[in-house]
Amino acid sequence: MSNEASPGAGTATSPERIPSGAEPSNIASYIDHTLLKPEASEAEILKVCAEAAEYRFKSVCVNPVWVKTVKNALKRSGVLTCSVVGFPLGATPSDVKAFEARGAVLDGADEIDMVINIADARASDKGALVDDIKAVAEAVHGGEAILKVIIETALLSDDQKVLACEAAVEAGADFVKTSTGFNGGGATVEDVALMRRTVGPRLGVKASGGVRSLADAQAMIAAGATRIGASSGIAIVKGEQGSSAY
């Protein structure tokens, strides 16, 4: 199972020394163009898909109900379809997350971003975290898709972040991801660097939440991120300032 290891993965550098592939002309290939608002309409979803195809973003990330729509809209574009699972709280039984993930993959999702049981992370229950992630990983990998694990960094201490990342590695995930964008703070350079040090070069690291500009994205990539989750993708590639919190 590919984890899409990135240029410069596992090496934290300063934002002034951007790893190969993180220049403005290539930044779109890091971006999961995201629309997760519960009130999003079909017209808005299709607009995001058209933008992703035009700018050559890595994927479009949506709620599970829109996976079929996105997969069809992105046909022959080269842009992946990504769905969230157990989103945004993670407070769903593991077998239900696995069922949701399996359904999203059958609908056409190439990638799944799941939210862990945050209470287990705060209780430092690594075994429970591994079981939670592994259940979803088996469902996702059975459909030859990629699993990203959202640890919700804003709600965890550094020790708990490390524990959650270690659990993701042990459970066979392909990526760890900072945030949902719905529960307090989003990605920080410090958290991305910590996550990269913890998972090493083999797993991807996705920075999401509050990445609104090219400088923000470059800083995250320099710290070790291999993917950026943002609804401000167009502003990022244009070198402008986005307004969305996610």
Residues involved in catalysis: 113, 177, 206
CA separation for the pair 183, 201 (Å, rounded)? 28
Q: What residue type is assigned to position 15 of the chain? A: P
Helix (H) or strand (E) holding 218: helix 214-223
Q: What residue type is assigned to position 158 of the chain? A: D
Output the six-digit token pair for 20: 């190969």
List of residues 6+ apart from 105 with CB closer than 8 A: 112, 139, 140, 142, 143, 145
Give the Å distances, CA to CA, from 85 to 25, 133, 233: 31, 11, 22
CB 192 within 8 Å of CB 158: no
The residue among 151, 57, 146 whose CA lies nearest residue 109 is 146
Output the six-digit token pair for 105: 């993959």
- Which is it for strands 146-150 and 175-177: parallel, antiparallel or unpaired? parallel
CB 241 within 8 Å of CB 41: no
SS (H, E, C) 154-188: HHCCHHHHHHHHHHHHHHCCCEEECCCCCCCCCCC
Output the six-digit token pair for 216: 């923000």
Question: What is the residue whose two structure tokens read 């469902």?
Answer: 139
